[in-house]
Amino acid sequence: MKKLKGILILLLVALIWGVAFVAQDKAGDVIGAFTFNASRNFLAVAFLGIFLLKRKSHGQLPPASKQLWLGGLWIGLVLFIAESFQQSAIASYPATAAVSGRSGFLASTYVIFVAVMAWIVGRNRNFLTAVAVVLSICGMYFLCLTRGLNEIYFGDILNVASAFFFALHILVIDRYRRLDSLMISCLQFVVAGSLALLCALVFDSLTWANFLEALVPIIYAGVISSGVGYTLQIVGQKYADPASSALVLSLESVFAALAGFILLGEVLTGREFFGGILVFLAVICAQIPDILMVYRNQKNMPR
């Protein structure tokens, strides 16, 4: 029952993150990418700050070390780059594109990039990684090149670049995994939000009316997606094993496409849908070696 509880919680997280693509799409129509990212990150800081203060009041907050500040700086910098590419991508699509679905499937390719990066450094070298890469390339061909090489959406290129940096983000987090997760998460949002704010002051033009129009998507992305989503992910992964967690969270791309269809009336063409399915299968395929490793370890554990 505990594992089922964890899976259901993570399913809710995947849904929350999938719907976030709709929020990003709506906000991208009225405010700049840097303004949106600065707002959502600072809201996430405010939300997570509540838990930090609660832990501090109970004497459960470890002292901030030099390693923590350095880790937060690097993780936040990479997060800023990844978010900037992604939000700029979403805002650059024409009104006729199925933005949420395309962005959701392309964003999920970060899993492929993680597998490839691990393969390059000599970890988890296996045939399935190559299969995942081939599937993802085929999927992106059908999803992105619907009108030929000369007419690919610039947003697709930015989304793939974003996926690369989100993969790098995961690897940098892994380097600092021994640090307090809540503190490092809050610090990364501070860094990413501060950098986005500086860029917003230079590059974005903003009116109060436009900001108010984007307020609901900003609140959703900052509080629900970043704050609540992050918290529920931690809770869910306490009950579900890593392999099951990764598979359930992969459904984010599917929920993004469904949310775009239900909330915005976005419809993927048959070709785009087929490409999205191939990308989704590639994501699953890339995770199979880790899933098998987890189950082997569980099987070999003494009872």
pLDDT in tens, 90-137: 999 888 888 888 898 888 888 888 888 877 876 666 777 788 888 888
How far apart are the C-alpha atoms of 223 and 23, rounded to whole Å?
12
Here the tokens at position 60 are 């459960």
Give percent of the chain above pLDDT 90.
Answer: 31
What's residue 147's pLDDT?
64
Most confident range (mean pLDDT) of 42-56, 186-200, 240-254 is 186-200
Number of domains in the chain: 1
How far apart are the C-alpha atoms of 131 and 202, rounded to whole Å?
43
What's residue 296's pLDDT?
66
Helices (H) and strands (E) in the chain, counts: 14, 0
Average pLDDT over residues 283-299: 70
**223 burial level (CB within 10 Å; 0-12, 13-18, 19+):** middle
pLDDT in tens, 135-149: 888 888 888 876 666
What's residue 243's pLDDT?
61
Name which of 154, 204, 256, 178 is nearest 28 in CA terms: 204
- Angle, vertex CA 190, rays to CA 81 and CA 60, nearest 5: 130
How far apart are the C-alpha atoms of 122 and 280, rounded to whole Å?
25
How far apart are the C-alpha atoms of 98 and 106, rounded to whole Å?
12
Name which of 100, 167, 162 is nearest 132 in CA terms: 167
Alpha helix (H) ranges present in 58-207?
66-92, 99-107, 110-120, 127-144, 154-175, 181-203
Contact between 258 and 14 (Cβ < 8 Å):
no
178 — pLDDT class (breaks 50, 70, 90): confident
Name which of 234, 279, 272 is nearest 253 in CA terms: 279
What's residue 108's pLDDT?
86
How far apart are the C-alpha atoms of 129 and 121, rounded to whole Å?
13
Q: What is the rounded end-to-end Cα distance, in angstroms, of the chain?
A: 20
pLDDT in tens, 196-215: 999 999 998 888 888 899 99
Residues 6+ apart with CB under 8 A from 20: 220, 221, 224, 225, 229
pLDDT in tens, 253-285: 888 989 988 988 888 888 888 888 888 888 888
Name which of 290, 79, 59 is nearest 194 in CA terms: 79
Residue 79, pLDDT above cutoff 90: yes
Q: What is the mean pLDDT of the chain?
A: 85
Q: Domain span at residue 140?
A: 2-300
What's residue 68's pLDDT?
87
172 — pLDDT class (breaks 50, 70, 90): confident
